[in-house]
Chains A and B, each alone.
Chain A
Amino acid sequence: MVRLSKRLLKEAGTGVNKTLSEILVCPLSKQALRVCEEPPSLISDSIGVSFPIKDGIPCLVPTDGKILDTDDTMKHDNAADDSANNK
């Protein structure tokens, strides 16, 4: 019971557990992913796509990803901002 609640807490915190956050990468670019708390999702900055985390299970099938609006990315990330400006 204790273990279960611990696990729940851990997942509630970051959306994904430590193991996953260490080994998961973007399925398309194989670059690092960034955890987004609200809504729970993993964001691949290199291609500007967000992958949802449903109930603690990250969904990293390319067709599940949503392409982020440029405005949204600019707010979140400076790198994306730069690349948008360069265009």
Chain B
Amino acid sequence: MRRFLFSQTSCSLLRRQRRPKDIPHRWFLSSASFSTAEYDDGDAFQSSPSKVKIFDRHLKRTQRDRAAWLLRPNDSFVHAVAENLVDRLEDCKKTFPTALCLGGSLQAVRQMLRGRGAIQKFIMMDTSYDMLKLCKSSQLDSDNENIETSYVVGDEEFLPIKERSVDLVISCLGLHWTNDLPGAMIQCKLALKPDGLFLAAILGGETLKELRMACTVAQMEREGGISPRVSPLAQACDLYMFSLISVAHMVRDAGNLLTRAGFALPGVDVDEYVVRYKSALDLIEHLRAMGETNALLQRTNILKRETALATAAIYDSMFAAKDGTIPATFQVIYMTGWREHPSQQKSKRRGSATISFKDIQKQFGNGS
């Protein structure tokens, strides 16, 4: 039942954020199969991946190639996220000899490791060859010298990793661009050894809300308004650089995703980072450097210069602080999950309790 509901939610999410006039009727029919319920048998890669293509993976790859050249060595936002993610390794007693790091901010994750998790073999995977080249050529820190690092160009949707072969999968700010997030997570789970850890940080739906608001207003102003049939949010998404139709729109969804992918002991938490920029154009430059610009399949390719400038101006007037900087919110959802192992704690079977809750109440709560 829950599965059914879930596919309903994701469907309505998509509907809200897309321009309905562009979507052929067939699309709605196929969106029913967006739920990866049929993957639950664990053969995610055997059956065909989700038929609905939301993101242009090829474009994303090109954008990440570009990001490799624009990458900022000391990007405080990316470093904060990577630090937060990698820090979780310290909470585990377990060590992780073999670790797989998926695309997104590879470089930052490697810098932040600093010997945590006692990783011996580190495999870095990205869709962009240039990005890996950059990682390969950059100087290794002294802390990471003993780690044997390998590089693979690969797609998270088609993970080229053998089953039960790695102890840890880290994905820092990359998975939100996959068309089939549950499928990608199932593949990560399969790649893990039993009792292996999956750590991921993805951007949530609240990300860049200011930019989206400014875009909508600018478009209404410059391009003669938005017809009432069309969702403003979708317009803003189409129009500008960044959009998120992440399946994990909310924390609860992220939790569901983990459970559905079959991870044991799932944990989800959310952080909001507010980054301050000198102007909206600086924000766009930063998004480019992170490779986080719009990669929707149904995007509008042409952004009118006038509209872009109006967006920057509106952003400034709506959100600017006293010192002239503008804030941008990034909502990061952190997900943690383990591959099942007999040693992990489990809840008991339903109905196996021997003591009634009423008795417990009598014992401890004196009428309160």
Interface residues of A (CB under 8 A from B): 16-17, 19-20, 22-28, 30, 54-64
Contacts and interface: CB of A to CB of B under 8 A. Distances in A.
26 contacts: A17-B148, A20-B123, A20-B152, A22-B162, A23-B123, A23-B166, A24-B161, A24-B162, A25-B161, A25-B162, A27-B159, A27-B160, A28-B45, A28-B158, A30-B162, A54-B129, A57-B152, A58-B152, A59-B129, A60-B152, A60-B155, A60-B158, A60-B160, A61-B158, A62-B155, A62-B158
Contacts of B267: none
Contacts of B153: 54, 57-61, 64
Interface of B: 45, 58, 61, 98, 121, 123, 127, 129, 132-133, 136, 148, 150-155, 158-163, 165-166
A28 B154 CA distance: 11
A63 B161 CA distance: 17
Interface SS, A side: mixed
Sorted nearest first, the 3 A-B pairs with minimum C-beta distance are A27-B158, A60-B160, A27-B160
Contact of A61 (B123, B151, B155, B162): B155
Nearest to A55: B133
B154 A23 contact: no
Contacts of B151: 56-57
Contacts of B163: 30
A60 B154 contact: yes
Max count, chain B CB within 10 A of own CB: residue among A23, A62, A64: A23
Contacts of B159: 27
A28 B48 CA distance: 10
Contact of B127 (A20, A24, A54, A61): A61
Contacts of B129: 54, 57, 59
